[in-house]
Structures are given as structure tokens and as C-alpha cells.
Structure 1
Amino acid sequence: MNKEWNFIKNIASIIGKLLLMMAIVFVLIIILFLIYFIAAGLSVSDLEAAVDNKWLIYSQIVAFTAAAFGMYALFERKKGWPLGLKQPNGALWAVHGLLAGAILMTVSSVLIWVLGGIEWQWIGFNQAVLRSLLDGLILFTCVAVYEEILSRGYIQGLVKYHYGQTSAIIVSSILFAVMHGLNPGTFDSPFPIINLLLAGILLGLSRELSGGLWMPIGLHLTWNYFQGHIYGFSVSGTAPVPSVLDAVAAGPALLSGGSFGVEGSFISTLVTMIGIIAVYFFYRKKGADQ
């Protein structure tokens, strides 16, 4: 009876903490958005344009990061489990992740092209592309850091503390997919949500096997950056940006990925599954759990 009660109590505790974190995020985003709205001298008629402004994206990044750190500091630090940023050889693990993300995205993109899912048009390095490359590097670095601190750092660490490694990877992967559920095209076919779940498992596994967050941060960064700014796909359903190559759909959406990008293709499913297997067998004896 005590075991059952503890199980229920721990679940309630985790859900409560996640709900509290989301409430903190909501309040912080409103505060940051109002600061921008007032500082920029905008009126109510400018509201729609303001919502599409990058300030809102970076406000979300700041809010989620602050909330994750705050929740960890208030409730978890004294329990002894690590968030994952203080990692021995973190820079080296980040390089491993950067290479893994670039390789997986390159293999997926090239296979889609070879099989006729897309046609590539060379754009090159004009001024618009160079600016896009810089903007994308900054944005996706911030996105990779905050999403990994939130998903693989706080959420995965919290669940692992109570229920172990496997449950932690599963739960964090599901919530990671849910976080992207409002993106355009997520439910156009089964593959976007399947691939988001698999990507979550890949990132969660790399966090556990490497012993920290720097490998998944690197992997997440180059996965997104190469997909959108090098190979010209949409990134998880977001609008395309100026890129070195422009990917034009030439085959069915199940192959090309459609408006969701590479993650909407069954090719991504196969490559990500291979990536999960490769990461497991290559790193299972190399990482030390932190």
C-alpha cells in the first residue's frame, strides 16, 4: 500500500511541478512581451505584428530557461541529481553532438533528394543568405540550449530521480513532441509526431550515455541548422528561410516531408532509428552518468 501511495504521490508531485513551471513561463512571457510592447511605443493596432516579432521568440526562450533553472534551484538541487550542464569534457561532448546532428540531417536530406522527394536549387552565399546563416546560428543555438535544459535537463532529470532512466527518456520524449504539437503541419501525416518522438529518444539517450547536456545540445543545434539554413527545408513546420540550398518538393509529402520539413518524411524515421541504435552501441561504454 505504501509503495502504491508513494507512486501516486510522486506522479502528483511531478505533474504539479510541471504545471507550476508552465504558469511561471506564462507570466514571464507576458511581462517580457509587455516590456517590449511599451518600450517600442506600440499600440493595440500593432499587436499582430508584435506577436510575429523575434522578440516574442526570444522571450519564450528566456522564460522557459529561467523557469527551468528556478524550479531546479527551489525544489531539486538539494536532492543531489544534476541538471547536466556541469559536465567533464563538455566541449568535447558538444563536438560529438554537432557532428552527429550534421551527419544525421545530411544523410536524411541526401536520401530524400536521391529518391526524388525534392529538387535542390543552389542559392549560394549572397547577402540575404549570409545574414540568414548568422541569424539562424544565434537562434538555433538559443533554441538548442533552452529546449535541452528544459526537456533533457529538468524534465528528464526529475522523472529519472523518481522512476529511473527508461521512464525519464520516454516521458521527456513525449513532452518534447507535445511542445511542438502546435507547429504547422504536425498532424498532416503520422510522420512528424513519430519523428519528434524518435528525436526526443535520440536526444534523451545521448544525454544519459554522455552524462550531460552538451552532446544533445550540439546534436539539436546542427540538426535544426543544417535542415533549415543549409539544405533549405522547413524546420518542424516553421516558415522556410534564406538558405544555401533551396529544397523544392518534387515527390509525395511522405517522402519530401511536405511543409514540416525533413522531420515529416519517412526517411527521417528510418535514419533517426538508425541513429538511436548507433548512439546506443557506440556510446554506452564511453559515457559516465553524471
Structure 2
Amino acid sequence: MLRSIRSGGLPYIIPRSEIPIKSAAEIIGKLLLTIVIVIVLLVIVLIAYFVFSGSSLMDLEAAVSDEWSIYAQMIVFTIAAFGMYALFERKRGWPLGFMQKSAALWTVRGMLAGILLMSASAALIWLLGGAEWHWIGFNRTVILSLLDGAVLYAAVAVYEEFFARGYVQGLIRYHYGSITAVVVSSILFALMHGFNPGSFESPLPMVNLWLAGVLLAVSREASGGLWLPIGLHLTWNYFQGYVYGFRVSGTDNVPSVIESTASGPVALSGGSFGVEGSFVTTIITIAGIAAVYAIYNGKKRES
């Protein structure tokens, strides 16, 4: 297949096989530019921090790992992605997914789905001997931890879904369609977590991160907006760490309602990566993807 276009008033022919290559180069270029913007903004934030706090460069490691810097990274990624969208994509007409009808209802549906899927994974790991649980309850430390976690993972859910499902998935979908967008954005989502402790303890953490990305991406396609995956992402992380006491994507344990200790083989317990390192989560996530896809197709047939 050939496509005729004009340049300087004269038509010339471009083989269609070259068009996807040009689109891929455009996508890669925009994603790299987004990362460059993120790095520049983070450097500016760190310089401002050192200037106004009076800290020295010797405190760099502590500053980067501090809670304020985590929120700063979220804000910077969001600004960079929105800036790229506003400059290059808004005129093309594809939506980021924030402006969605019945956003509150979609969020609640996502939160319920996240609770269901994470509870099923955690309970099965425990029942099969992959974790030992000790009830802690709702003491002052746990309550403060629950409140802190709600704010943290609400922010994480919004920023990661905006970046991965809103901007990246939308950008790829515009050029290549939904299936490619779901697969590729989910790979990038998994790679975003590749520096977390325990990511490569076995193949399962990266497999499950990719499947979680697929689940969230299919949820984005199914609902037509970001609020279903935002709700799902929020409670998936929150219940994993702050209720059931597992490590969330390899991060440190936090004060939780249930204290969880890994036991049994790593493939079952998830090891140092937590629930997302277990084959149980692989099965549950695949079931979740199938359920969302089936519901989505059912609604399409009804409409």
C-alpha cells in the first residue's frame, strides 16, 4: 500500500510500511523529552531545597528518600506529562481521561474491584501457607499509618494513572490502536517499578507488574476514562500494604492492621516483593483482566 502526500506542491509517494516507523520515532521522542523535562524539574526542585533548607550535598541521599521528595516526583511527572499533552496532543483531540461522566461512580467501582482482587490474592497466599498473619488491630500507630497511607496511595494512583494510562496509553493508542497501547504502556509501567527492591528476585514480580498494568489499561479502555483504574490502583496498593501487611512492590513494611510475614517458597509468598511476587497474584490478575474485558464487551454489545 502506498500513500501520496504533497511537499512544495509536488506529490510524492511514501510506502505505508514507513508510517508506523515514523509514528514509533515520534512516540519514543516524546517520551524521552518527557523524561528530560522530569529530570530538569527535579534538579530545580533539589537546588531550591538545598538553597532554602541550608542543607549540603552530603544530605542528598536523605533528601531524595524523604517523603516530601516522593510527592515532588509525583508532581513533576504530572506537570511534565500534562505539558507535553498541552503542547503536542490537545489539538489532536484524544482525551487524557480525567474529564469523565460519573467519575465518582467509576472510582467507587474501581475501589471495590481493587479490594476484591487484593483480598482474594492475600487470602489465598495465607491459606496456602505463603504468609503468617498476626492481628494488630487499630491502635494509634496503625490509625495514623492508615491515614498517611490513604493520602500517599491516592496521590500515587492519580499520578501513575495520569502518566501511564492517560498520557502514555493515549499517545500510543492514537497512533497504533487499543491493543498495542495496552501492551506497550503496561510494559513501560512494569519498567517504572524495575528499580524497586526485589523486582528481579524471580520472574514473577515483573510478570505481575505487567499484568497489573494490563488490568489497569483494560480498565481505562473499558470505562473510557481514568477513574476506574485510579480507584482500582488505590485500593490494590492500600489494602496490600496497610491492611494485609505485605510489602507493596518491594517497598518497606508499614504499620498495618495485620502483620504479615512471608513463609514457604518465594513463588507462593512473593518473597521480599510482597503479594505481587506470587503466582497466586498472577492467576487472580488474569482473572481480573478477563472479568473487566467480558463486562466491557457485554456493554458494547448492548449499546
Asked if TM exceeds 0.5, the reply is yes
CA–CA distance in 2 between the matches of 1:35 and 1:223? 34
- What does residue 118 of structure 1 align with? 131
Alignment of 1:1-290 (within 5 A): 1-286=14-299
**What is the TM-score when the length of structure 2 is the normalising length?**
0.93
Q: What secondary structure sits across from 1:284 in the alignment?
A: helix
Considering only CA atoms, is the larger Rg found in Structure 1 or Structure 2? 2
Opposite residue 64 of structure 2, the aligned amino acid is V
Residues 220-267 of structure 1, C-alpha deviations (whole Å, 9 max, x = no match): 000000000000000000111111101011211111111101000000
Identity percentage of aligned residues? 61
CA–CA distance in 1 between the matches of 2:188 and 2:136? 36
Shift of 1:45: 2.9
Structure 2 residue ranges without an equivalent (≥5): 1-13
CA–CA distance in 2 between the matches of 1:181 and 1:231? 23
Q: What secondary structure sits across from 1:157 in the alignment?
A: helix
Q: What secondary structure sits across from 1:103 in the alignment?
A: helix
The answer to whether the 8 Å contact 1:210/1:286 transfers is: no
Number of aligned residues: 288
CA–CA distance in 1 between the matches of 2:84 and 2:217? 20
Structure 1 residue ranges without an equivalent (≥5): none
CA–CA distance in 2 between the matches of 1:155 and 1:48? 29
The answer to whether the 8 Å contact 1:186/1:192 transfers is: yes
Shift of 1:47: 2.3
CA–CA distance in 2 between the matches of 1:158 and 1:44? 38
The answer to whether the 8 Å contact 1:94/1:214 transfers is: yes
Shift of 1:44: 2.7
Give every structure 1 segment of 4 or more consecutive aligned residues whose post-TM-superposition deviation is greater than 4 Å. none
Opposite residue 200 of structure 1, the aligned amino acid is G
RMSD: 1.3
Opposite residue 104 of structure 2, the aligned amino acid is A
Q: What secondary structure sits across from 2:133 in the alignment?
A: strand
Shift of 1:94: 0.6
**What is the TM-score when the length of structure 1 is the normalising length?**
0.97
